[in-house]
Amino acid sequence: MTPKNQKNWFKRLLARLKLEARWLAPGTGYKRWLAISIIGAMLLGLGLAVIILEYYRTTTSEFFTPILAVLSLRFLDRPIRFLFFGGLGFIVILIGIWGANRALLRPFESSGKPVWDTLQNYRQREKGIKVVVIGGGHGLSSLLRGIKSYTHNITAIVTVADNGGSSGELRRDLGVLPPGDIRNCLAALSSDEALLSQVFQYRFQAGAGLEGHSLGNLLITAMSEITGSFEEAVAESGRVLAIYGQVLPSTLTDVQLIGELQKTGEPEPFVVRGESEITETDGMINKVWLEPDNVQAYPPTISALLNADLILIGPGSLYTSILPNLLVKDISEAIRASKAETYYICNVATQPGETDGFNASDHVAVIEKHLQKRIFDLVISNRNYKGDLGANSSWVIADQTLHENYKVYEADLADELYPWRHSSKKLAKAIINLYQERTGPLN
C-alpha cells in the first residue's frame, strides 16, 4: 500500500469512527444500554474467571497447567494483563453491539437518513415541552402537524358542540358526541399521514346510509359502542393511528352552542341554536354561550392544562371552535391557574359569517368579552398579505389597538398555496423560537 493510499485509508477510518461515535451523542438514550451490556459482560467474565481460577489453582495436570499459564499470559505483570484482556474484551463487545445494531437497523436505512439522526430526533421530541392546543378546523390541524416535529408531548383540546355534517348526523341518530374535530386532530398527529390517516379521513361519496360520512367518524362511533365510552374510543383510535400526543374533548356533556345574532338595520337581536346554524344564518354574531351553561370539563383536559409548559389558543373559527372550548368554565380557570405561557394565534384571514371585517384586536376583544378576563401572554399574527383570498374574506391585521394592549409577534406565517391558512412549518417554528426566547433554550 502506497503512503498516499495509507493516508486515504486512515482518513476514511477516522470518518467512519466519527460517524459511529454519533451513537454516543447526548439525547439518544443509547449510552445507558451500552453501559448495561458492558457491565453484564464484565459480570459474566468475572464468573468465568472465578471458575477457571479455582481450576487453575487446584489442578495437578501437567498438560493443562502450562496451557493455562500461556493463555492467561502469566509471564506478564498483572496490570499489563488487565489492560490487555480488558481492552480486548471492550473492543469485542463494541464490535458485537455495532454488528447487531447494523443487522437490525439496516431495513430502516432505506430512507437515506442516518438512523442515529432519526433516533436522536425522536428522543428529543419525546422529551419535548408539554404543549396544549385549543382550536378547531383546518387551522388546528395545520398547527398540530407542525408542532409534532418539535415535541411529542401534545394535547389537543376540541369542542363537542359540532352539530353539522357527518358529526351532526351521528350525534342526532346515535346519541354520540360529535367526532369530526377529534378525527381531524387524530389524523394530524398520526405518525403515518401518508396512508393510514388518509384512510381515516376518507369520506364516502355514495351508498345508502354512508354518503357524506368519513371512515374516521364511523370508526370512533363504533369504538364508542365497543368500549362503552367516548373518551376510550378516542384513545383507542389514537393507538390505531399511532399518534404523537393525545386528543381530548373539552367536556363529555352533550352541549349545544347558542348564538345571539343581529341583522343590519334591525333593532332587536335573535337567538340561533346549533353551531352550524349560527354560521349559516345571516346576521352579525353578538355573543355565544353553551347550553347547559355550567358543564364540567373533562378532568384529563384540566390536568393537561395545569401541567403544560405552553398553551396555544387558535387558530380556528372564533365563535364556533375556540369559544365553545373556553366557555367551559373549568377550562378558562385552568388556563389562568396554569404556569404555562399562553399564546393566542390569530387567524390569517377573516371567516365569512363569523368575523367579517375583524382585525386581530377584534378577535382578542371578543374572547375577553366572553370570558371577562385577560388570559394571553402574547398574540401571534401573520403579516404576509400576498395572495388571493376571494371576495368574501380579508386579511386579519395586527392593528395599533392590539399593539397598545398586548405583546405582539408578527411574521410571514401564511401558506404559499393556500394563503388564507397558516403554514404548518412556519407557524410551528415561530412558536418554538418565541418560547425559547421567552423562557430559555429547550432541554
Tens of pLDDT along 179-220? Answer: 888 888 988 898 866 666 677 778 887 767 677 788 888 888
Per DSSP bridges, beta strands 284-291 and 310-313 are unpaired
Of 109-118, 237-246, 355-364, 375-384, least confident by mean pLDDT is 109-118
Tens of pLDDT along 269-291? Answer: 999 999 889 988 888 999 999 99
- CA-CA distance, 373 to 173, in Å (whole number)? 38
390: region left, alpha or beta (phi > 0 left; psi from -120 to 50 alpha): left
151 HSE (CA, 13 A, CB side): 24
pLDDT above 70 covers a percentage of the chain that reads 80
pLDDT above 90 covers a percentage of the chain that reads 42
Three-state secondary-structure class, residue 345: strand
For residue 363 the three cell numbers come to 378577535
Chain Cα centroid distance, residue 341: 17
Q: At what angle do helices 64-71 and 31-58 cross, to 10 degrees?
A: 150
The pLDDT value given to residue 397: 95
The pLDDT value given to residue 285: 94
Looking at residue 207, its amino acid is: G
CA distances from 172 to 165, 167, 218, 272 (A): 11, 9, 14, 18
Chain Cα centroid distance, residue 320: 23
pLDDT at 27 over 80: no
Tens of pLDDT along 130-169? Answer: 999 998 888 898 999 999 989 999 999 999 988 877 777 8
Tens of pLDDT along 282-317? Answer: 889 999 999 998 899 999 999 999 999 999 998 999
Q: Which residue has the higher pLDDT, 384 or 75?
A: 384
Q: Which of 419, 431, 285, 404 minimizes the C-alpha distance to 344?
A: 431
User: Could you tell me the pLDDT band of residue 260, with boundaries at 50, 70 and 90?
Assistant: very high
pLDDT at 17 over 60: no
pLDDT at 116 over 60: no
3-state SS, 223-257, equals: HHHHHCCHHHHHHHHHHHHCECCEEEECCCCCCEE
Mean pLDDT confidence for 224-238: 90
314: region left, alpha or beta (phi > 0 left; psi from -120 to 50 alpha): left
* Domain 125-255+291-439 in CATH 3.40.50.10680: yes
User: Could you tell me the pLDDT band of residue 30, with boundaries at 50, 70 and 90?
Assistant: low
pLDDT at 118 over 60: no
Tens of pLDDT along 393-432? Answer: 999 999 999 999 999 999 999 999 999 999 999 999 999 9
Domain boundaries, the chain: 11-115, 125-255+291-439
- CA-CA distance, 91 to 87, in Å (whole number)? 6
CB 348 within 8 A of CB 420: yes
CB 158 within 8 A of CB 140: yes
pLDDT at 31 over 80: no
The pLDDT value given to residue 13: 55
Mean pLDDT confidence for 123-129: 74
pLDDT at 110 over 70: no
User: Could you tell me the pLDDT band of residue 50, with boundaries at 50, 70 and 90?
Assistant: confident
Q: Which residue has the higher pLDDT, 234 or 205?
A: 234
pTM of the model: 0.76
pLDDT at 367 over 90: yes
Looking at residue 284, its amino acid is: M
Mean pLDDT confidence for 352-365: 93
CB 380 within 8 A of CB 343: yes
- CA-CA distance, 248 to 300, in Å (whole number)? 8
- CA-CA distance, 202 to 246, in Å (whole number)? 21
Contacts of 414 (CB under 8 A, 6+ apart): 348, 382, 384, 386, 387, 420, 421, 422, 423, 426
Q: Which residue has the higher pLDDT, 387 or 4?
A: 387
For residue 360 the three cell numbers come to 386581530
The pLDDT value given to residue 258: 95
- CA-CA distance, 389 to 395, in Å (whole number)? 8
Mean pLDDT confidence for 215-242: 88
Of 47-51, 69-73, 112-116, least confident by mean pLDDT is 112-116
Looking at residue 285, its amino acid is: I
Mean pLDDT across the chain = 83
Chain Cα centroid distance, residue 134: 13
Q: Which of 410, 398, 419, 396 minimizes the C-alpha distance to 349?
A: 396
- What kind and span of H or E run contains 261? strand 256-262
